[in-house]
Structure 1
Amino acid sequence: MSQQQGPRIPRVPQIFSGIESNKNCYEPMVVSIGPYYHGKLDGFLEMEKSKCNMVRGFVQQSGKHNIEELYKTVEDVAEVARRCYDEDGSVILNDMTEFTKMMFLDVLRSLMKLRFGSDEEGIKLIKDFIKHIRAMPRQRVSCRKKISKFFSKTIPRISISNYSAKDLEMGEYYGASHLLELFHMHFVTSVDKNVTVDSSRTSLYRYHPAMDLRRVGIHFKPSKTSQFTDVQFKPTWLAGRLQIPALTIDDSTKPLLLNLVAYEACLGDNDKLWVTSYICFMDSLIDQPEDVRVLRSQGVLIVTLGSEEEVARLFNEVANYLVPNPLAFNKVKKGHRITL
């Protein structure tokens, strides 16, 4: 792994991208953004042509910028952006002029949609980004605002949004270097008071399937947030209640989880494997389709696509080869083991 300082946008580690059944979860589907797939997939050639039309449309409709001014704005940050990517010998990364042109078209296409699009078009833009990095936020409209603010911070001389400062308040997201990192910050708290590190042996024990927990009186309840770190065990008079963030299961769930796991793997920090640990936690709870039925009936899983068998298989496939932080969610482990 490169030791360069500053923001990085690395490739998906081979241990993940090499799994054939998951490969399409990492490859762009609608539009190629950035250098890694630029010019490499024939299906995106028409979309590349449309980017030029969108640039012209942006300049015409903004009424504030000429094309030379816009290009200079991107050119000023292009070298910094290029250093964020892994060197792979590709022409686009070695030719600064071509890289700047690619970045200019990609940025302006995105700004065009955000600046002049309707709410429906803004949501479609987010879906396009999601199909590129294959990650689906649960709150699409609020995430559009976050992406808009992300771009305005990155390229500050270009106004891209009509949102008020109050609407765009998102100080905790200012550190995001790219969209996948922003999505990760959306799902993982920066400081989680409910998750503490405990080196006791209890932390090394596995969880039990949802059906087994329910038999001894442990019930499930959706957490108040959508953050994967928000997993808590609350003792009750009879047994206990396990609070887990609700997760919608649809055709974007697997790509979402896999991309977030790949991002965490690139961080190289065992203490930051929260999405990875969450997935392994859910995989322990889901051993059979009946476990999915329990979690679904109590609002922890919202299944909009697929059968209970398919949901159980999804978690098994995503958790394959994953190694969680063994100390994650240790309070939950202690609580439910005492009940058992």
Structure 2
Amino acid sequence: MGEVTESRKEKRFKKLRDAPKSPIPSSQPKIQKVPIMLRDHKNFDKYYVPRAVAIGPFHHDNPRCKLAQKYKRMLTSKFAEFVGQKDEDLYKKIEEKIKELRECYVKEATEHINDDNLAWMLFLDGCSTLQFIYSLMNEHEEFEIKRDQVAFAQQDLFLLENQIPYQVLELLMSSSDKHEVLKDSIERFVQMHIIVPVEKQSKGQEQEHKVDITENTETKQQEGLTTDTDQKQQPKEPTHLLDLLRKRILGPPKKDVPKKEVGESPKQTFRNVQELSAAGIHFQPSKTNFLGDISFKSHCFAGFLSLPPISVDDSTRPKFMNLIAYEMCPDFQNDYGVTSYIGFLDALIDHADDVKKLRSASVLFNFLGSDEEVTKLFNEIGTDSVPNTAIYLSVKAELEKHYKTKWKTWMSQFCHDHFSSPWTILAFLGVLSALGLSGIQTWYTVHS
């Protein structure tokens, strides 16, 4: 008995000594379920589980997605016809890479599925997804799917547990001369789902974004900013559609922050937009719609906080919640860009009047309903999230500095009280004119 116990103890110590010294995260994580910390959300099924179409292995047997299987076969047939390839040849491309594609998922996702079934699943999901997106983005294409199913399917394509490896899409797209047409459809589809007003999206900006994302590693190498880890961890293509959406929303990566600029996050004493506004801080839309494009400038007693414009509608909550869940995946090395943006916005929005102020500044566009609903939305999304405090460190420091400078607050309050409307300005000018005329009259009286 003692020998058995000793042997067991030795095995435990061997495992302990063989354990890696530190976790090895990756910038291209495996497709996996929503992290355990988020799975107890009261509306989990509503925001993380597909309602119309199941993509990949996690929800393949979901009964409410059964109708979509019929549509998948129809779309796959149309896709083969569109690209001018035999369906068997398209399937073979997936089949030949199935070992590699299996590795795109966590082990528990596919361990119960043999290679043939997994290849067939990815073949159907990949072809139907590409044809769905192409048909949706090209109005001349016949689209024999009901409008409500189309709407739900679009949202389902950006759920963390409903992803297909982008490599599958690339394999299928590269099979014909339609590659660029299909890739352009994907880009336009993702741009359509970026959470900003359509009129604020710039075509030139979109093109700039594409270049910056796909050539990020090469650019950083030229600027001498990459390390060996960067070169290993920076993939040229996205992991999946949700990853592509995240890249497009965040915009080009910023250059590394010099170590001397990194410090502890300043203690925040302001509580919301209204308090900042009372301190003379004005809100305005940023020049781009990238979530990371937040800046602050202080001029005399007035400050200007630039925020990327954002539209809020029924799709905003599930998109942000799945993007945050993606950033929380344990094997995904990232800067928590989306989580940090939500944290920043959550720190500004406490009441419906805060939302109203941002709407007036053309920073926020409310298509959800009341301003109170928008307030609840951001407060809920921001709950339990852990942002990267270094991202907006300088912005928060400048905001806090301006907010705590009392004379700026007093001057701002004075201007607000006396010059907030044309009538008060006219009254002030009238008083100045009266004083001026009175002074002139007195001077003439004395010297005449």
TM bucket normalised to smaller: 0.7 to 0.9
Greater shift in the superposed pair: 47-56 or 255-264? 47-56
Does residue 51 of the first structure (1) align with residue 77 of the second (2)? no
Residues 308 and 95 (structure 1), Cα distance of their counterparts in 2 relative to 1, 3 Å cut: same
- The gaps in structure 1 that reach 5 residues or longer are 136-146
Does residue 324 of the first structure (1) align with residue 387 of the second (2)? yes
Does residue 109 of the first structure (1) align with residue 135 of the second (2)? no
CA deviations over 1:274-307 (Å, ceiling 9, x no partner): 1111111111101111111111111111101121
- Distance in 2 (alpha carbons) for counterparts of 1:157 and 1:300: 43
- The gaps in structure 2 that reach 5 residues or longer are 1-22, 188-206, 215-235, 404-448
Query: What's the counterpart of residue 175 of structure 2?
Result: 157
Residues 206 and 19 (structure 1), Cα distance of their counterparts in 2 relative to 1, 3 Å cut: farther
**Quick check: 2:157–2:241 contact (8 Å CA) kept in 1?**
no
Residues 226 and 206 (structure 1), Cα distance of their counterparts in 2 relative to 1, 3 Å cut: farther
Residues 249 and 195 (structure 1), Cα distance of their counterparts in 2 relative to 1, 3 Å cut: farther
Normalising to structure 2: TM-score of the pair? 0.64
CA deviations over 1:68-112 (Å, ceiling 9, x no partner): 211111212222221111222666x53111111111111111232
- Distance in 2 (alpha carbons) for counterparts of 1:243 and 1:16: 31
Q: How far did 1:327 drift?
A: 2.1
Query: What's the counterpart of residue 245 of structure 2?
Result: 183
**Quick check: 1:78–1:100 contact (8 Å CA) kept in 2?**
yes
- Distance in 1 (alpha carbons) for counterparts of 2:166 and 2:103: 23
- Distance in 2 (alpha carbons) for counterparts of 1:114 and 1:148: 14
Query: What's the counterpart of residue 75 of structure 1?
Result: 95
Query: What's the counterpart of residue 192 of structure 1?
Result: 254
Q: Report the secondary structure of 1:36's partner residue.
A: coil
Greater shift in the superposed pair: 321-330 or 186-195? 186-195
Q: Report the secondary structure of 1:305's partner residue.
A: coil
Residues 45 and 21 (structure 1), Cα distance of their counterparts in 2 relative to 1, 3 Å cut: closer
Q: How does 1:214-293 map to 2 (within 5 A)?
A: 214-266=277-329, 272-293=335-356
Query: What's the counterpart of residue 138 of structure 1?
Result: none
**Quick check: 2:294–2:306 contact (8 Å CA) kept in 1?**
yes
Residues 83 and 155 (structure 1), Cα distance of their counterparts in 2 relative to 1, 3 Å cut: farther
Residues 285 and 9 (structure 1), Cα distance of their counterparts in 2 relative to 1, 3 Å cut: same
Q: Report the secondary structure of 1:94's partner residue.
A: coil
Q: How far did 1:202 drift?
A: 4.7
Q: Report the secondary structure of 2:289's partner residue.
A: coil
Q: Report the secondary structure of 1:310's partner residue.
A: helix
- Distance in 2 (alpha carbons) for counterparts of 1:56 and 1:130: 23
Q: How far did 1:229 drift?
A: 0.9
Specify the code of the residue in structure 1 equivalent to 2:51. M
Residues 133 and 164 (structure 1), Cα distance of their counterparts in 2 relative to 1, 3 Å cut: closer
Does residue 133 of the first structure (1) align with residue 158 of the second (2)? yes
Q: How far did 1:29 drift?
A: 1.8
Q: Which has the higher helix share?
A: 2
Q: How far did 1:234 drift?
A: 1.2
Query: What's the counterpart of residue 58 of structure 2?
Result: 36
**Quick check: 1:32–1:38 contact (8 Å CA) kept in 2?**
yes
CA deviations over 1:187-215 (Å, ceiling 9, x no partner): 12342259776443454546531000000
Does residue 21 of the first structure (1) align with residue 19 of the second (2)? no
If you compute each CA radius of gyration, which structure gives the higher value, 1 or 2?
2
Query: What's the counterpart of residue 142 of structure 1?
Result: none
CA deviations over 1:250-283 (Å, ceiling 9, x no partner): 0011111111111111156786111111111111
Tell me the matched-pair count. Answer: 325
Residues 149 and 161 (structure 1), Cα distance of their counterparts in 2 relative to 1, 3 Å cut: farther
Normalising to structure 1: TM-score of the pair? 0.83
- Distance in 2 (alpha carbons) for counterparts of 1:134 and 1:191: 23
- Root-mean-square deviation (CA), in Å? 3.3
Identity score, percent: 29
